[in-house]
Amino acid sequence: MPKIRCAVVGVGNCFAGLVQGIEYYKRHPEEKVIGVMHEKIGGYTIQDIEFVASFDVGENKVGKSLGKAVYEYPNKVRWTDAVSCCSGIVKEAPILDGIGIYVENMIKPIKQTKTVKQLKEEAVAEIKRTGARIILNHLPVGSQKATEFWAEVALETGCGMVNAMPVFIASTPAWAKRFKEKGLPVLGDDYKGMVGATIVHRTLAKLCDMRGTKIDKTYQINVGGNTDFSNMLERSRLQSKKISKTESVQSQLSQRLEDDQIYVGPSDFIPFLGNTKLMFMRIEGRMWANIPYNLEVRLEVDDKANSSGVSADALRYVQFALDKKIGGPLIGPSAWLMKHPPFQFSDSEAKDLADRFEKEGFNTPPSGR
């Protein structure tokens, strides 16, 4: 099989987890790859994924070889001491709205002297030169303009796109239409971690709902210690993240909760946690004879191990779509892997749809929605 040639935008912790995980399995061929949906998707294993182009704005990363940049501060993932699926030099991206006030001193963005137009021409040339076919967007929360910039680059270079973060591309009809018209696949938006806060909360909320109880209120609080959590202290950058996380839970309920009866959000930055994410979740409800109940969950997980299997699956679905010439948003894989897909389903329906997509190329939007 030809390799899956990718470009990454944002050489941060998520990316470091993805490529160090690929390296880990390369060095341990006797181990079964866990935390992914299938060993092969569209005939591809995780070892078929390679990164041939990369873009960032951090002074520690731009101009370095990608294989070295992965280990640069403020990245924290240290699972392997080298990565072999990365090649080339990290190129300068336009900063636009990528850098928040709380992370500026950690990322230390380079001084930009080129115009956005020049940087776009250079990005297009780099993607064409390297033969990348998929753009993986790992920009920080709140990077609306920067994400739109890379969606335009994908359309211009004929690349598919995996949108790992909560700026709505696959789930915005106007963008979805443009990808469809160009025959290019887009999978998004905003990773749903493998066993992350969202899927646990959704599943338990759905369970309470399906068992006929009435959920009165629920919250989910998340804390972590990496740049992602530091960035999310800036509330004005969080609008789409809040929508993405809240709607992901609301979509599983037969009756929506009032806005003031549900709180789902990243809530604080605790530096010493590093990539460990803690989630605290509570559901309060009533059952037979109006008798109250409540349940609480504390989830402790490495946030990057949680996202990397999702990346490894998403890239292979998009490559499969490119091979089969399936353009537009990928309905089943997006619903299974992302918090804010174009169409929400229950997680078991989403998994069936993702399987049907891979078996038969099934990618039909649900009727009437």
Ligand X SMILES: NC(=O)c1ccc[n+]([C@@H]2O[C@H](COP(=O)([O-])OP(=O)(O)OC[C@H]3O[C@@H](n4cnc5c(N)ncnc54)[C@H](O)[C@@H]3O)[C@@H](O)[C@H]2O)c1
Segment holding 134, helix H or strand E: strand 134-137
Q: Is 12 in the site for ligand X (CB under 6 A)?
A: yes
Question: Any bridge partners for residue 215, and if so which?
Answer: 285
Stretch of residues binding ligand X (CB under 6 A), selected from 25-33, 110-118, 303-311, 345-353: 303-311
Q: Is 42 in the site for ligand X (CB under 6 A)?
A: no
What the block records as the tokens of 128 is: 């064409």
3-state secondary structure 298-361: EEEEEHHHHHHHHHHHHHHHHHHHHHHCCCEECHHHHHHHECCCCCCCCHHHHHHHHHHHHHHC
Stretch of residues binding ligand X (CB under 6 A), selected from 3-11, 174-182, 209-217, 349-357: 3-11
Q: Which is nearer to ligand X, 42 or 193 (CB)?
A: 193
Query: Nearest approach, Cβ of 254 to ligand X (angstroms)?
Result: 26
How many Cβ atoms are within 10 Å of 349's Cβ, its own excluded?
Answer: 14
Binding mask 229-268 for ligand X (x = CB under 6 A): ----------------------------------------
What the block records as the tokens of 279 is: 């989630």
Q: What is the dihedral of CA 226, 191, 116, 180, to 10 degrees?
A: 180
Q: Is 344 in the site for ligand X (CB under 6 A)?
A: no
Q: Is 11 in the site for ligand X (CB under 6 A)?
A: yes
Q: Is 36 in the site for ligand X (CB under 6 A)?
A: no
Q: Is 8 in the site for ligand X (CB under 6 A)?
A: no
Q: Is 327 in the site for ligand X (CB under 6 A)?
A: no
Query: Nearest approach, Cβ of 303 to ligand X (angstroms)?
Result: 4
What the block records as the tokens of 45 is: 């294993």
DSSP letters spanning 24-80: HHHH-TTSPP-SSS-S-BTTB-GGGEEEEEEEE-BTTTTTSBHHHHTTSTT----SS
Q: Is 9 in the site for ligand X (CB under 6 A)?
A: yes
Question: Any bridge partners for residue 88, and if so which?
Answer: none
CB 110 within 8 A of CB 241: no
Question: Any bridge partners for residue 283, and if so which?
Answer: 218, 295
Q: Is 190 in the site for ligand X (CB under 6 A)?
A: yes
Give the three-state DSSP class for 123.
Answer: helix
> Under rule CB under 6 A, how many of the chain's residues touch ligand X?
37
Cis peptide leading into residue 74 (ω within 30°): yes
Query: Nearest approach, Cβ of 285 to ligand X (angstroms)?
Result: 27
What the block records as the tokens of 325 is: 């010439």
Binding mask 48-67 for ligand X (x = CB under 6 A): -------xxxx--x------
Among 165, 262, 322, 350, binds ligand X (CB under 6 A): 165
CB 72 within 8 A of CB 15: no
What the block records as the tokens of 363 is: 């990618």
Q: What is the dihedral of CA 336, 339, 345, 350, to 10 degrees?
A: 0
Binding mask 101-130 for ligand X (x = CB under 6 A): ------x-----------------------
Q: Is 168 in the site for ligand X (CB under 6 A)?
A: no
Q: Which is nearer to ligand X, 160 or 193 (CB)?
A: 193
Q: Is 93 in the site for ligand X (CB under 6 A)?
A: yes
Q: Which is nearer to ligand X, 160 or 196 (CB)?
A: 196
Q: Which is nearer to ligand X, 143 or 250 (CB)?
A: 143
Q: Is 304 in the site for ligand X (CB under 6 A)?
A: yes
Among 126, 189, 228, 313, binds ligand X (CB under 6 A): 228
Among 303, 321, 327, 354, binds ligand X (CB under 6 A): 303
Interacting residues with ligand X (CB under 6 A): 9-15, 55-58, 61, 93, 95-96, 98-99, 107, 138-141, 143, 146, 164-165, 190-191, 193, 196, 226-228, 303-304, 306-307
